[in-house]
Every structure is written in C-alpha cells, then in structure tokens.
Structure 1
Amino acid sequence: MSVIGVLRETAAGERRVALTPDVARRLSDRGVKVLVETGAGRMSFFDDAAYTAAVVVTRDEIYAGSDVLLCVRRPDDLAAARPGQILVGLLGLDPNGLNGVTAISLDRLPRTLSRAQAMDALTSQANVAGYKAALIAAEACPGFFPMLMTAAGTTRPAQVLVLGAGVAGLQAIATARRLGDQVTGYDVRDAARADIASTGAAVLDVAAPSAEAAGGYARDLTEDEAGAQSQGLAAAIPRFDVVITTAKVPGAPAPLLVPAAALAAMRPGSVVIDLAAGNVAGSVAGARTLTGNEVTVIGAPDLASTVPVAASTAYARNLLALLTHLMPHGEPQLDLDDEITRAVLLSDREGARP
C-alpha cells in the first residue's frame, strides 16, 4: 500500500494546505494511507481532528514514512527527503536543488489538454487570485465601485482596466463587473480579446498586433511591437481609477505594462494591483506603496494564499485528479510515454529532468 504524506507549508505568508480532509478521505477509500503533518491544515481552518481518514504525525515521520510527498510550494528542508521519494506540488520550472527526489511540478502541466483540466492547479489558483484582486482593489479605492443614486446625488461607477485576460484576468473582470464597475480589458492575443468581450466588458484598442503563441500563452513582442503597445497603454491608463495587471510569462520575467510615466499621469487616489510582480514599475511583491502623486501600487503575486479555504479545496482536488492519473492502481506508475506524466516530471532521482 502506498503512503502519501502531506507537508505543512513553511513559506512566509503561505496559508494553503495541499490536501483537505475530504480529499484525504477519498484517497483513504481507495486504499491509500495518508499521513498529515501536525498543523498542516491549521492556517486553512482545517484542524488536525478534521483529518479523520488520515494519521497525523510529525514532519520527520512524514519524510521517513511516505512514498509520495504533497506540498503547495517547494519545501526548504528537502535534505530530509529520501532519494527516489516522489514530491508533488507547485515546484516551479527549475530542476535544481531537489536533493534527488522525483519531482512532479504542476507548473509544467500541459494546460491545453482536455484530460488534464481537472489537474490544472495554475488555473484553479489563478481563479482565486483574480477574484481577490478585484476585492483588494475595491478596498483600496477611495471611491465607490458601483454607481450609487442617493438623495445627495449620483456617484459614477469606478473605471477599471484589467491588463491580461488569462484565467486571473477574466476572473478579475467578472468580479469587478459584479461589483458594479465599468470594466475594460486588454490582451495581446486575439482569442483573449474575444473572451473579454464575452464577459460584457469593453475591449481596450491598442495599436499593437496580436501575439498568440503555442499553449494559449502570448509570445514575446518584437521591439517595435512592444513600443507600440507601451505607447498605447501609457495613453490609456490615466483614464482609469483602478488598473489590475495579470500578465505572466512562464519561466521568464513578467512584462512591464505600467511604466513610471503612466503611473505619474494617473489621478491621485488611483489604485494599481500587480498580480505578476513585475507588470508595474516600482511594485514590490507583498507590499503596498504610494507614489509621489498618491497612486497606490499593490504588489500581490500570492493572492491565492489569502483565500486559503477556497484555494486549498480547489488545489486538493487538482492533486486528487493528478494522483488518480499517476497511481491508477494505488501505486505510483510514472509512464514517460504518457504526455501528461512526461510533461510534469521535473526531475528524477538523479536530480535532473529526464
């Protein structure tokens, strides 16, 4: 019988847990033994007593007794792992520093495959982040989001611009619209522009060509294309009360979409939320800063962690789908002829990707 161990997250600010009590029960029902580290679910409001189908043990016992280790972020104490143990989580794209474990990274999941959709943790967590970004913007904005008609007069709705219409961007658009904003979206991909329009939001017209790439991501812009985009965005951004940026590039720095000049041209009291930690000039991950012209800039690359119940529930279900794929008969079977398994395998026991 395989043993799955759930590690408590140790990264600062991380409140998610890799496995919820419900998913632990489902795995137990399939004959898999589940070990959960003491306190693993506490920050997600799942106390140890809730894991009735698992055995709650120490961290040392997790490392010593598990065949498969589950986490959200890469653990910082992998020296305690045994070579050949399987580690599954959002481990990034870098195979270095994994201490000989067989690493399965959900960051590498081929997201365009229909049979991989239930495993797609990047999508589930981006949904949470986009939702929370709109709420944070509403809290930081000094005015109302919706139009309000009162005896003292009518207050216009906030004007919100969302840059990047992937999963997080579309969720931010949808949430902002539900809050009553007048929302505009922008993306360099034609398909994403159609997605923006389908939500009922306006589509920002910038004189830059489409930049569609394989896998649904945007390709790198040429120097001329990037210049045209930057000029168009810089002219449009000051019209908005709130700007939410979500444009990420896998394995590369996030593109700068809101330069310092655009921030300087925004009205005092405007709010900019940077989900990519790099889309906005001067943004600091995890910090709220104020520019010289009193524009609030919030660097927020880890928003899913701030909604730990919803984010953990979705993530645990993604892991359940992946484990079902990797362990069809209760034991890990890493079939490198399978395109999903081959894609997510970040490193083998020798510490390098096969």
Structure 2
Amino acid sequence: MATPHETIRGTAPGAAPVPLSVLDLATVGTGLTATDALRTSVELARTAERFGFHRFWVAEHHSMPGVASSSPAVILAHLAAHTERIRLGSGGVMLPNHAPLVIAEQFGTLEAMAPGRIDLGLGRAPGTDGATAAALRRADRRGAKAGEAWGEEADEFPQQLAELIRFLDDDFPDGHPYRRIHAVPGPVQATAPGGVQSPARPPVWLLGSSGFSAQLAGTLGLPFAFAHHFSAANTLPALDLYREAFRPSEVLSEPYALIGVSALAAEDEKEARRQSLTGALSMVRLRTGRPGLIPSPEEAETYEWSPLEREFADSWLANVVHGTAEEVRDGLDALAKRTGADELMITTNAHTPAARLRSYELIAGAYGLTDSAAG
C-alpha cells in the first residue's frame, strides 16, 4: 500500500532538478474542435507517461470557447482508460462550484478506476466570471452582477474543504447530520459484510494564486500548488507563507510545493516566440472580456495591438519560459532554484496540437528523458 508521502512525492526524472509534470487545459484552436482538443489531451497524457513525467492534471474552466476542460472528472476518467502509470488529477476542481459530496463521489470513482494514481487538487476561485459562477451555483443574480456570488461562497472554502475531507475519509463524528451519509465508492464499503478496504484515497492538494490557500495548506499540512503561470509576482510571497504556516500532518511531515509554469520549446527561439504569441493574444482577449478560440500564429503576427495590449502581452510573455529546448531547460532549472519548488508542472499554450506535443518532447529530450515506447 502506498503511503501518503509516496503518492505526493515523485522522483526527479533524468537530469531534472525536481519532478516534472503536465497541466493540460484541453485548449481549442481556431479551425479545430473540442473533439480535436480532447483527443490531443489523450495523446499528450500518453506522451507524458512514456517520457516519465510524474503527473498529468487538467483544470476546470467555464464559459471559455478556447478551453474544453469544464468537466475534469469526465476527462480524467477518459485519460485513466488510456494510460497505465502516470498520476492523474485536477489542477484543479473549483470546490465552491460543487457540493463536497459530489466531488468525493467523483474522485472515489476515479480512484476505483485507477487505484493509486489519482490526485484531487482544489481551488477556491470559480474558474470563470461571476455571472457564470452564479449559473453554476444557482446564486442570486444580483450578487452575480456585482461579482459577489462566488466571493461569498469562496469565504466558506475552509468549511467546504473540511466537509469534503470527511466524506473522503468517511469519518463524520457521531451526532453530525451527515454521519449516516457516505461517499461511494469510498471507505464505507470496507465496513459492509465481506467488504475489503481500498488501498488508498486520492490525496488532497490546495491550489492558489495568492496567500489564502497557501496559508490554509500549510496550516493543514497539505501539499500546495501555486499558479506561477498567471500570478508570478505572488509566487515567492505565497511559497514563503506556505512554508512558514506549515504544520506536519498524517499526509506530510514537511512542506511540498509545486508550481505551475507556462513553457514552450521549439526548434529555434524565433519559432518558440511565434508560437507563444498566440497564448499572449488569447490572454489579452480573455482579460478584456473577449474570450475566444486560441488564435493561429499568423493571426497573432498580423494582429493590430494597442499600446496597452502590447504592454500586457510583453508582461505575460516575460513569465513564459520559451525558446529552444536547452533555453527552456535552463529557464526551468533557474525557476526551480529561485523558488525552491519541489515540483514543476508545465503548461503549454499553443494553437496546434503538434506544437504542444513537440514542445513536451523537446523539453523531455533536454533533460535526457527517452521515449519508453521507442525501439
């Protein structure tokens, strides 16, 4: 039986200073479909597994035409059927969007499908705008317009998290109104006549882009994943807060911090920047209320940038580790050293599946990782 420490901590592959993992958004480029994106997710997960990446996570987003990962549990079930060894998880499920019991049931089911391979990463943001969050949660429409609906529920995140963990462990105390409610599949099956205890339950991770989840993860002794790829200025303060707040638990005896980093490798630096510019334009459109499909490199090159848009794009690209495979490796190594991260989770935003897959292959090659299916 794997211990909690073993399910969280991985071994750095090849010459990598820390374990390398993958965060996938199932992005949809112009001229492509969600079917194309999800097929790419399967191919990417299998590629990551062959090259020895540690985990493969998918993220929950809503009402974004260029992101097809609105249902992480559904995607993870599909990925579990097409992989054998790599850890699969959510990066993350947005807890305030769901009843804790539903998440416990979904990830208990995933654990039954792929024993010992499932991670449950949780976030407190909505993964969308306030109005969409209200539609997800059936909140008061007036609150949604004011951006208050999801904010108020996010303040209840610690209570929701505690409830979810109790459902996963099936240990509500006597007298609790949920004492006789059980998440199935789950530990309760071991207590039924003839029942057999499942070997593990998905480890819980907290995700964040600020200090709130960092401090909560530390206080609870949970592993923490920080979204460096879109909140780089907060990375070091949040990691410091996590480590300062950390208290040993049954899950971890010492802090374990993963950071998500945007990276793209290509055959040369010029092509890497050309491919990365598509992500920059996509983010400009998202931040200005015009979310759409991931544009092509040609569209990004001919786009008429306003001065403010160009400033935003340059700022965004400054936090994307891009270039040749060797340049990306050096950038990732420097980031790991600067932050003291225990694991790097790479996300690659590009228009075509081929560019994304090639980037991960090049990064793997730069670290001396070889395709286990070759030869």
Higher helix share: 2
- Mark the structure with the bigger radius of gyration: 1
Shared fold (TM-score, shorter chain, > 0.5):
no
Higher strand share: 1
Please give the TM-score of this superposition, normalised by the length of structure 2: 0.29
